[in-house]
């Protein structure tokens, strides 16, 4: 499976120096993607940024400090807000303008960003889910304050450290829901942009709508101004949802396991990946790392033993279910009192996938209602079997993923 996907996720033998647009067109030619004018538009814009990167070298400048209230008494944000309000001829920044791709779920934003990231000619780059990035920011701020209780403002050194590790930052699912995040973001990104960082992001929300209609929204608007000034907003208006479209009629539960089932799941995995490159992922859960060895865009793949044979819990499965819209699971065995620990984890896994509307595709020794027929735990498994049956239906497959 990994060998097949590695070939699938490669650059399809592109000539050296090919960019995101060439990679996108190669996937079209190979039949891995369907033609989509909106995706081509985004690939073209990312290709332009890709061409600008080789000649760009970050040059940091020092933003002026903020006022004691936490608002903008000066700095890049204050200057930008003033210029944007008073003049339509703001100076173009010397760094390449980043790209903020916005659109409904399933339009191919993550796939396109991953194509760009893989080909970006930058030694120091980072691709990260935005929620994970902010978790890391909070943890590092806490550690810095613990290490130096006299440190009054950890934001500038933190931003400098982040920029030193990667001056191209690619954020998947840029979304601001937490007031603690909102209060940090303005100053953090002020210093990141001042350090010469280039940002590419995907989001379901337009910049001007981020964190609006919430307490503290007024203080967040300067951050919106700087995002709009520093990156180009690109809307993908494709009417097709590539995560949901075409799943009706697909076999989601394949009995029994074996070579034919594996081949069918291989094909499903590639289809669900939507052209995204294969990229192993590590999820951080309460300070622990959970490895996802096979992942591509919105889909992850595990064997049953890897996912339910290890000491994983509800928090691990929730992290997996919020990160991935689809899960491919190989070799679900029959369950019973003799392997009740496996069954218990599987019950928690299915409940979590169900609550987050993750689409499950699996090979198994039997149908859901026959997996756990008798013995201790059989009654508890009845709800799991019922949910597994519902998850195979067209109505469930049409539900949007709750990321």
Structural domains of the chain, with CATH: 7-235 (3.40.50.300), 253-397 (3.40.50)
Q: What is the pLDDT of residue 374?
A: 83
Using CB atoms within 10 A of its CB, is residue 25 exposed (0-12), middle (13-18) or buried (19+)?
middle
Q: Is 264 helix (H, G, I), strand (E, B) or coil?
A: helix
Could you give the count of Cα atoms lying within 13 Å of 168 in the half-sphere of its Cβ?
23
CB 133 within 8 A of CB 167: no
pLDDT at 266: 92
Contact 386, 380 (CB under 8 A): no
Instruction: Calculate helix-pair angle for 217-230, 179-194, nearest 10 degrees.
Output: 30
What are the b/e assignments for 263-286, b being 16+ CB within 10 Å? eebbebbbbbbbbbbbeebebebe
**CA distances from residue 101 to 19, 354, 379 in whole angstroms, order as listed:** 18, 28, 47
pLDDT at residue 357 above 70? Answer: yes
Q: Is the dihedral of CA 57, 62, 64, 66 positive or negative?
A: positive
Task: Look at residue 1 and tell me whether its pLDDT is greater than 80.
Answer: no
Secondary element (H or E) of residue 299: strand 299-303
At residue 65, the pLDDT reads: 44
Provide the pLDDT for residue 130.
87
Give the Cα separation of 61 and 72 in Å (integer).
17
Average pLDDT over residues 357-371: 94
- Residue 252 in this model has a pLDDT that exceeds 70: yes
Supply the mean pLDDT for the chain: 82
Are the C-beta atoms of residues 127 and 114 closer than 8 Å to each other? yes
> Tokens 């909070």 identify what position?
138
The length of the chain, given as a count of residues: 403
Question: Of the ranges 56-65, 71-80, 204-213, 378-387, which one carries the lowest mean pLDDT score?
Answer: 71-80
Q: Which residue has the higher pLDDT, 6 or 26?
A: 26
- pLDDT tens-digit series, residues 165-208: 999 999 988 888 778 788 888 889 989 999 999 999 998 888 89
CA 85 to chain centre: 33
Edge-to-edge order in the sheet of strand 231-235 = 125-129, 168-172, 198-203, 98-102, 231-235
DSSP letters of 104-164? STTSSHHHHHHHHHHH---SSEEEEEHHHHHHHHHHHHHHHHHH-TT-S--HHHHHHHHHH
Residue 239 in this model has a pLDDT that exceeds 80: no
Is pLDDT of 5 > 60?
no
Average pLDDT estimate for 90-97: 64
Residue 66 has pLDDT above 80, yes or no: no
As a whole number, mean pLDDT of residues 320-325 equals: 92
- Quick: pLDDT tens for 258-298: 999 999 999 899 888 877 888 888 988 888 889 999 999 89
Residue 61: pLDDT band with limits 50, 70, 90:
low
User: Residue 75: which pLDDT band, with cuts at 50, 70 and 90?
Assistant: very low
Q: How confident is the model at residue 107 (pLDDT cuts 50, 70, 90)?
A: confident
Predicted confidence (pLDDT) per residue in 208-237, tens digit:
988 887 787 888 888 898 898 899 999 987
Cα 225 from Cα 325, distance rounded (Å): 31
Confidence of residue 376 (pLDDT cuts 50, 70, 90): confident
CA distance 91 to 88: 9
Angle at which helix 75-86 crosses helix 179-194, to 10 degrees, equals: 90
**Highest mean pLDDT (candidates 129-143, 303-317, 365-379):** 303-317
């Amino acid at each position: 499976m990994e060998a097949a996907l590695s070939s699938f996720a490669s650059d399809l033998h592109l000539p050296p120096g090919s960019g995101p647009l060439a990679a996108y067109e190669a996937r079209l030619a190979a039949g891995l993607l369907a033609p989509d004018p909106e995706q081509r538009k985004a690939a073209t814009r990312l290709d332009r940024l890709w061409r600008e990167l080789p000649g760009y070298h970050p040059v940091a400048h020092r933003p002026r400090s903020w006022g004691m209230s936490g608002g903008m008494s000066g700095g890049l944000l204050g200057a930008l807000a003033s210029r944007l309000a008073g003049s339509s001829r703001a100076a173009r920044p010397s760094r390449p303008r980043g790209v903020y791709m916005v659109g409904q779920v399933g339009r191919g934003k993550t796939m396109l960003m991953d194509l760009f990231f893989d080909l970006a000619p930058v030694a120091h780059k980072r691709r990260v889910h935005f929620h994970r990035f902010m978790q890391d920011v909070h943890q590092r701020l806490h550690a810095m304050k613990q290490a130096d209780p006299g440190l009054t403002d950890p934001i500038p050194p933190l931003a400098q450290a982040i920029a030193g590790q990667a001056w191209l930052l690619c954020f998947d699912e840029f979304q601001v829901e937490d007031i603690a995040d909102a209060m940090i973001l303005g100053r953090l990104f002020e210093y990141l942009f001042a350090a010469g960082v280039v940002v590419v992001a995907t989001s379901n929300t337009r910049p001007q709508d981020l964190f609006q209609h919430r307490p503290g929204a007024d203080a967040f608007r300067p951050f919106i101004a700087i995002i709009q000034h520093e990156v180009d907003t690109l809307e993908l208006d494709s009417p097709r949802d590539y995560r949901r479209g075409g799943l009706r009629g697909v076999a989601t539960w394949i009995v029994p396991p074996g070579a034919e089932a594996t081949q069918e799941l291989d094909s499903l995995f590639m289809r669900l990946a939507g052209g995204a490159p294969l990229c192993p992922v590590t999820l951080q859960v309460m300070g622990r790392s959970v490895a996802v060895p096979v992942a591509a865009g919105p889909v992850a793949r595990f064997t049953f033993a890897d996912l339910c044979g290890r000491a994983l819990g509800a928090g691990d499965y929730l992290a997996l279910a919020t990160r991935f819209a689809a899960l491919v699971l190989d070799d679900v065995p029959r369950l019973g009192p003799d392997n009740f620990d496996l069954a218990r984890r599987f019950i928690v896994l299915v409940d979590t996938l169900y609550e987050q509307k993750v689409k499950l595709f699996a090979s198994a020794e039997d149908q859901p209602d026959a997996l756990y027929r008798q013995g201790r735990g059989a009654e508890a498994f009845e709800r799991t079997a019922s949910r597994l049956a519902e998850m195979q239906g067209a109505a469930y497959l049409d539900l949007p993923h709750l990321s």
